[in-house]
Each structure stands twice: as C-alpha cells, then as structure tokens.
Chains A and B, each alone.
Chain A
C-alpha cells in the first residue's frame, strides 16, 4: 500500500498554487486525510500534489458580525478547540469534535472536506444546514472571490462546482439570531466512522432561516421542503423523506427517517431547555 510515484510541492501563495493547477495534472491537498489513503491504495494517481495547508491566505478567520469567514485551511481541531470564532456559539465546535477521531481532526481542514465532498462528511451537511456560502477563487479573478451557497457548491457525490483551476478559499457561516436553535444527529455505529444517516436542523426565526438537511445519502444533502410542517408534526419524517428522496430503498428511507426524528427530538429538547 504505497502510493504510485508523485511530485509534491508546498505552495507559497494562492497565485502560485493556482498556476500549478493549470494543465490538470496536479491536485490540491490541504489536510490529506481523505486523499492520503486513496493515494496509498493507488486509487488516485495525480502527477503532483500542491500542499496549501499552510497558506496564510487560507488560514485566516474573520468576524464580519453577521457572519464569520473561515479560511479553507482551518482545521477541524482548531474549530473543536475554540481557537477560532464559532459564530453559532458552540454548534460548529460540537460538530467538529465528532468528526472522525482526533488524529484526523488535527490535520483535516474544513475546506478540504467540502472540496472532497464525501456525501457522509460532517461539514457537508452541517454547512448546508447552516446556510453557509463557499468563496471560490478562479484563476483569472485576481483577489475577487466568487460566492456560491454550499448547496450549489456541492453538486453530487465527491463532486463540486469547482472548475479545474478554482480554489475553495473560504467559507462564510452566517451568525444565527436570538432564539435560534440547532440540532444535528448522525448515526455512526462506531466512533470515527462516516455517518450512515444524518439530519441537521437550523431554526433561526430572527433571520428568517429554517432549514432541514438530510446527509449521508450517497449524493449531496437533501434540503427538505415544508420544514415548518415537519417541525409542527404535520408531515411525518418518513413522508418527508419519501417526498425528498423517493428513489432510495426502504431501509435507507427508514434509517434517515430515524435520523430526522432524533434530530427533531433534539431540537424540541433544546427548546425546553431554553424555556
């Protein structure tokens, strides 16, 4: 299990990294927690890796008041440990703390995870439910960043809206308003596994955001329609999922319906706690 030969270079600037991307032979790497095993199994054979994990531009976290901008190379551990601002109070911190296990979190990055777009990854569903925005730097845009809502950024399993020369530079996470509530429930049989089913709910009345996302579907997260009716119990979890993902086998629907039920229960519990 040794990788096929490849070149490795540390990027000194975003410009530098983007230049190296031209031609399509090289791949960006930040935490290397998903790519590394694939390299070792020779499932992927890039000509070269451009390491952007230490780029200053990608390591900034800026608070704009209504949102916080996370540089793409912010590690899960930095979020878990509260070394960077968590606009949600502690929701991101809690989610980060349950990504894989600590060794992965030390190196794995939020941008790397989103750009890899594993359907079962935590940030993929959490950022979708939190109504986050991807900031993309194209090759010819200079310092201007293109923005895309995460649900448009992730286009399928392991697939994103990134063009061949694009770099995911940062993620904007909106700061929830007063009285906002959050639930995130995932089923992993063992600690450190990718989720088999997951559901996340953001209820942020002050900012008029109500979103229910279902993850680990083998594709991009599903954002459920009629979230208020689901919250109010007018649409049952299983009905909601049958509407949203009718093509899935019944076992999968059931499992995700359980995830949704438990996320709803979590949300209700939090309401009581706050009352």
Chain B
C-alpha cells in the first residue's frame, strides 16, 4: 500500500474532501452532451418502432421517393444483428436484429430508420410508412413463459428460456434440524433506469482518415467499438468511439444499441453525419428496461434464529433478446451466487431461469440483481424473525459473518475481503433510534402507523476475470490500464479507458496521482471517453472504477515517479532512490528541483539528461489487477423509519440512515454523493417505479407522468455514517461502492412497512410498494383474520 495513505487528510491526495474538478462544468451548465453537438450536413434520425409486442411482419412499404431517407432491414447490406452469447452450457442464443425483418418481439423494436433535416420531419416520415402485421399471442408474464401453451418468442427454441441454472450445496443435510420453515413469494417490478440524459449519438464517416467516428452517450466506449466492429465487420482501426459528457449511465449506457449500429451504417452509406437523440418515450418503452424478478424462497431456521439454509427458485424476465455485452444471464448468475448475502448458512439451493418474453431486453441497472436478492433475503429474514418472535436486529446478529472470520469464503464461494458487518448493524440500529421507535410504537393508536426496517448486504465490486468468466458473461474484464504522461510544463495527463459521468473520477483519480507523485490536482488532466486517446477498457460498470482505474493510475504514476526521480537525481547529483516527490518538487535533504524543471529537461533540454536516461521518457502505460480478482466487498446497513397511512396505503419516509463501509475513501464527499444518488434510485425501486404491461405486451407507461420517479419531495434527509475498513485486495484499500445505495432501500422500506403492518398480520411482498399494494395486503390480512375467527367459531 502507498506510503502516503491517510497522511494527507487536509491536502489534495487520498482521503481529502476535495471539491470536484468537474463541478465547474457540470454545475454551471458548461458540459457538452450529444444534444449540444451538431456537425455540418448532419441529418436527424427517427425510428419507426413496433406498435405490437409479438407479430409477424407481412409487408413493408416505403412512401414514394424515400429510397435515400427511409431504410428497412433489407437495406442494411452486410450488417449483422447483435449477439451476446453466454459461455455457460445450455444457453439459447438470440440475435437482436438492427431493424426487424420478419418478426417483431417487443413493442418499440426498430422497424425502419428515417432521415430528415430535423427530428420532427423524420418523425413525419415514420408515419408515412406502411407495415402490415400478423399479430401473435404475446408472452408478457415471466411466470407463465415456460408454460407448454406459451407462444415462442424465438421459434427455433424449444422453450422461452435463455438459460437455467441450479446450485445445491449441502441443502438436504442442512434443513434436517430446522425448527421453522418460512416460505414467501416476492416480486420486483420491471423498471426503467431514467438517467437525466437518454441515449444519443452522432455517427460520421471521416473520408480523410477512413474512420467511422461515433459520438455516443456511452459509459463503455471501447466495448461499443468492439461491438460495432462485429456488427459492421469493420476493423477496430476503422472505428473511433467518443463519449463526451454523459448525463448519467447506470448500466443502460453500457449497452450496444441497434440504434448505434444502424446510425453508423447509414453514416457510412450516405457519407453524412447522422444524429439520433433518444426521447423519453423511446427510453421508457423500448430502451432502459431492468430489474424484473420473481422469487419463491424458503428459509429454514432453528428456534434461536440460526439460519440453516435457504431454498430459492428465481425467475428473471430477460425480455426478448440477449443484450451486448452483459447477455441475458448476468442477473440470474448474480441471483444464484449473491442471494445468501452477508450471512452464514450451512445449506443452500437455488434454481434460476432467465426467461424470454415479448418485452424489451432486461439490462443491468445500478445494483443489477443485488437489489432484488437483498429484497428477497432481507424481507424473508424479517418474516422468520416475526415467526420466531425475535427482533430483526437479533436474527441478523445471529447470522452475520463475524469480523474475526474475515477474510471469509461464504457458501457460494464468495470471498469477503474485510469488514465488520455486525458493527454496521449496531451503528444503524443506534442511529435510527430503534429503542425510541419501539417506545413510540407502543403508544400509537390511530390510522397512521410507524414502522422501522433494516437491510444489510455486501456489494461485490470490481470483480474481475475469474468471476465474469465463471458467470459465462461474454465480456470478461482483465488488467485495467492507465497512461500517465508528464507534460513539458510539469502537468500530468492521465488517460484511462473507463468513463466518468458523475462518478467524480476527474477528481478522485487526480487525488490518487497526487498521493503518488505530489503533483497539484489542478495540474492533472484526466483524459477519458475517447478510444483514440485511451487504453482499452471494459469501461465504467460494476463499481469497478475507483478500484481498477484507481489502481492503474496509482501504478502508472508510481512508475512515472521513478523516471522523474532518475532525471531529478542526475540534475541534483543525488541518489534517485532517496528522492521524495511532494508539492510539485523532487526533494532530497535541503536540495530540490521542481517536477516542471524535470519535465522541461526531458522534453526541451535533452542536452542536460544523463547518458543512461530511460529512453521511454516520461510517459508510462501500466496494467493493474487486484491481489485477487474476486472483487472488493463493501457493505452497508440501511435503517428506515416510515409512517404508513392505513386508509390510503401511503408510505412516508420519516428518517433514513445508511452505515456504509467503502474501505479507504479516496474522497469522502464523492462517496457520499454516490450513496445519496444510489439511495434515491433505490427508494424509487421501493416505492414508485414500475413499468406495467398489459396481456398483449403493451407498456402502460410511456411518459414520466405515468412512470413515477422519486422526487426531491419524496426523499428524506439521508444520514450517512462511514466505517473505513481497508480492503486487502486493492492498491489503497479502497472498495467499489458505486451501486451500494441502490441496493438496500427496497428491502429496508418493505421491512419497515411490514413492521408497521405487523399488528394486522399484513405483509407486502412486491415492490414498488404502491398504496394499492399496501391496501391489498391490509385487506388480505383482514380477510384471513375473518376466515380464521370464522373457523374458530
């Protein structure tokens, strides 16, 4: 680990609460997004999208004189559809067409591309196209997708299943001693990710360089480049992908879209820049779908609360296609391996099905499957606790992995690197004032009831080669590279293949470099978001950047530091190994020379260099992996106090506490920001966000008037407490926490609602917890009570 660790709390290195370098741009409206860009001669692209969820296309007719402005699948000569094939046996591959040819498989699927000088005119063109369909029965309910009589989404498949998996670890033996068996069914709604900026792109062919340049609002520019290369059959060298400022990613912007492939093809074919800006309706209907899971889960426990085993059957509604690059199976792979959470157990059994339906492909959203499994596991635990008449905190304390067991390999072979889970629970229980809330509950009589809920989970982040290869995901991350280049004026350029779009990497990576070689963060420039300037990377996803890109920057800067010291040693007539780099200076004893002077010497005054100077100069590429590639495990305990209005079913959040351990924090303010933002999205999952479909597969929310995002007025002032247990795996002890905030809220809030309703014997089991679902749970409990008392009489 780095020698400066923890020593620069007040400086600008690791641990400093430095204001973000990018804030001036972001907070003052100075960013440049796709929609801010125009190229000469540019045409706007609009798509005719399928109005039906499942239908055969019988005919496609263009309006008159639109040969060069309206394009069907048959016009995309030489273009391949998008394939993301899992490496696991039994996977049924799909091909996502760029434009649908013979069949449409979800509402919003692309059928025709229309070009015009303005978006409005392009939309006018879409209306003039004549398509005839033969509508087919739609598969809209994942729990019925495997029925014998279900229509086939892909007719060459024998059933609507991308992949099924089964794991059984000592299950039968473990359940033999169970005193209680608690079974529940849980569902998480299909959601949309809803970053402030949707997708967007400009594709242009550079005649001079013979390069296709795609400006795209993406979080993974290199992966988009590889995907385009496959679909368009171009060499990588003929493709440059630029991600400018991007207004939030959350996973959606890691996906290669058919829209991107189509626009690139048309830009090359017509030799004109083509722009497509996704509008909110396209986004909601066709784009950013995520999260839809269904669980049947059974917990086996002893009377004292010891959890013996968990048995689960989980279905993931993967939608119609396997998306590039994460495939249709990332969610289910995570379900099976992460469900046991931070708990000890002796037996575990889990079956998963990634089913195909006539809905848009499900895409990994911040937290991916962790949000769903945390919900299922944590709500089940509270049900067991109620059954055993012990407190939620007691059952968790009984079963959490203990700090003295760390590092710990759990039942699914997850390697928990470090931490004190019970301490996080203890702090959250204290911070929410559990004792006070319990006293308050004793006194309540009215139609509004208070409840308190907990959730605790660990977040595997920055998981690497072995994990992704093991899950069969077509994209496997390896070494993460960074380039560190000292410029002639003593500034530092850092080039990374990940992309920063709200993560604060322009600041935090500069802080890491500052800790390594003492250059002022103001003189450090992060270059990212351009495949022509940056080393190959799988990009920004999986809570990996601060660990992987941070580690790479640290390693590269350390190497660069050695080269600086070597030149400085010569200039100072001193031993390079004894030189210290700090405050922009190379120092030894009382003598010093500025790093700027060292840079000038290499670039502009080479006559002063020693004969044995390292000819590779002051530019370094280094690759980095963590000590083990099993991932860092940050963890958190969420505690929430709610008020439930029993007449309206309305849930209000009164207080919200998060105790979070991100390992070494590079910048605590950036960590806070990640946690706040994630928690807001998690609260959306818990209470508001739901993309409903009717039986014909029609989406029932196509604007933000129907798709309810959490608003500022819905959010409590979240209180964050930090623990800081360094990871033994990462360069500075840092852990990934990018997704954490979005994982805990559905479980904690559902537990709090169920706590408030417990006097009625009512439980909610689906998110979002809408007023209708609360009232239904209350009504169901009331009817059950009546039946019971009727039976008794």
Question: Which A residues are within 8 Å of any B CB, using their own CB?
Answer: 1-5, 37, 41-42, 187, 189-192, 251, 254-255, 258, 261
What does the 1/0 interface line of B211-224 toward A look like (CB < 8 Å)? 00000000000000
Of all chain B residues, which has the CB nearest A259? B648
8 Å CB contact of A2 from B120, B688, B705: B120
- Among B123, B281, B688, the residue within 8 A (CB) of A190 is B688
CB neighbours (8 Å) of A37 from chain B are 703, 705
Report 7 cross-chain contacts, Cβ distance below 8 Å, ordered by A residue: A42-B123, A187-B648, A187-B650, A190-B711, A191-B713, A251-B772, A251-B775
- Bound form: Cα–Cα A42–B714 in Å: 31
Does the CB pair A2–B650 fall under 8 Å?
A: no
User: What are the interface flags for B190-224 relative to A under an 8 Å C-beta threshold, 1 for contact and 0 otherwise?
Assistant: 00000000000000000000000000000000000
Closest chain-A Cβ to B120's Cβ sits at a distance in Å of 4
Do A190 and B120 touch across chains, with their CB atoms under 8 A apart? no
User: By the criterion CB–CB under 8 Å, are B648 and A258 in contact?
Assistant: yes
Q: Using Cβ atoms and an 8 Å threshold, which residues of chain B touch A2?
A: 118-120, 123
Q: How far is A255 from B647 in the complex, measured between Cα atoms in Å? A: 8
Which residues of chain B have C-beta atoms less than 8 A from A261's C-beta?
647
Query: Which residues of B lie under 8 Å from residue A5 when comparing CB positions?
Result: 120, 124
| Interface residue? B279 (CB, 8 A) | yes
Contacts A1-B279, A4-B127, A251-B772 supplied; 6 other A-B pairs, CB < 8 Å: A2-B118, A37-B705, A41-B702, A187-B650, A191-B711, A191-B713
Known contacts: A41-B703, A191-B711, A251-B775. The answer to whether A4 contacts B124 by CB under 8 A is: yes
Measured CA separation A192–B713 after assembly (Å):
10
Nearest residue in B to A194 (C-beta to C-beta)?
B705
B interface residues, tally (CB under 8 Å): 23
Residues of A within 8 A of B124 (CB): 4-5
Chain B residues positioned under 8 Å from A4 (CB to CB): 124, 127
CB distance from B157 to the nearest CB of A (A): 35
Chain B residue numbers with a CB within 8 Å of A191 are 711, 713-714
Question: Quick one: CB contact mask for B402-422 with A, threshold 8 Å, 1 for yes?
Answer: 000000000000000000000
Given A2-B120, A4-B124, A41-B703, A190 and B280 touching (CB < 8 A)? Answer: no
CA distance A144 to B775 in the complex (A): 52
A6 → chain B closest CB, angstroms: 11
Whether A1 contacts B280 in the complex (CB less than 8 A), given A190-B711, A251-B775, comes out as yes
- Whether B281 lies near A3 (C-beta < 8 A) is no
Interface residues of B in 422-450 (CB under 8 A from A): none
Say yes or no: is B469 at the interface (Cβ < 8 Å to chain A): no
Q: Does B51 contact A (CB under 8 A)?
A: no
Which A residues lie within 8 Å of B772 (CB)?
251
Shortest Cβ distance from residue B694 to the other chain A in the assembled complex, whole angstroms: 18
Closest CB-CB distance, A41 to chain B, in whole Å? 7
CB contacts (< 8 Å) of B127 on chain A: these are: 4
Cβ-based interface call for B623 (8 A) = no
Contacts of B708 in A (CB 8 A): 189-190
Note all chain A residues with C-beta closer than 8 A to B688. Answer: 190
A1 to B650, alpha carbons, bound, how many Å? 33
In the complex, A251 Cα to B280 Cα: how many Å?
32
> Among residues 112 to 145 in chain B, which have CB atoms less than 8 Å away from a CB atom of chain A?
118-120, 123-124, 127
What is the CA–CA distance of A246 and B30 in the complex, to the nearest angstrom?
57
Distance of A191 Cα from B714 Cα, bound (Å)? 8
Question: Hey, which chain B residues are within 8 Å of A187, CB to CB?
Answer: 648, 650
Tell me which residues across on chain A come within 8 A of B281, comparing CB atoms. Answer: 1, 41
Task: Check if B668 is an interface residue, CB within 8 A of chain A.
Answer: no
Give CA–CA (A114, B120) in the complex, Å. Answer: 30
Distance in angstroms from B281 CB to nearest chain A CB is: 5
Compute how far the CA of A3 lies from the CA of B127 in the bound complex, rounded to whole angstroms.
12
Q: Which residues of B contact A258 (CB under 8 A)?
A: 647-648
Whether, in the assembled complex, B771 has its beta carbon less than 8 Å from a beta carbon of chain A, the answer is yes
Complex-state Cα separation, A255 to B648, whole angstroms: 7
Given contacts A187-B648, A255-B648, A258-B647, contact A3 B120 (CB under 8 A): yes
Residues of B within 8 A of A1 (CB): 279-281
| B156-206 with Cβ < 8 A to chain A | none
A190-B714 in contact (CB<8A): yes
What separation, in Å, do the CA atoms of A128 and B293 have in the docked complex? 46
> With a CB–CB cut-off of 8 A, which chain B residues contact A254?
647, 775
By beta carbon, the residue of chain A nearest B280 is: A1
B648 / chain A contacts, CB cutoff of 8 Å: 187, 255, 258
Q: Check if B703 sits within 8 Å of A192, measured CB to CB.
A: no
The CA-CA distance from A222 to B331 in the complex, in Å, is: 49
CB distance from A167 to the nearest CB of B (A): 28
Residue of A nearest to B772 (CB): A251
Taken together as a complex, chains A and B put the C-alpha atoms of A23 and B772 apart, in Å, by: 46
- Min C-beta distance of A45 to chain B, whole Å: 10
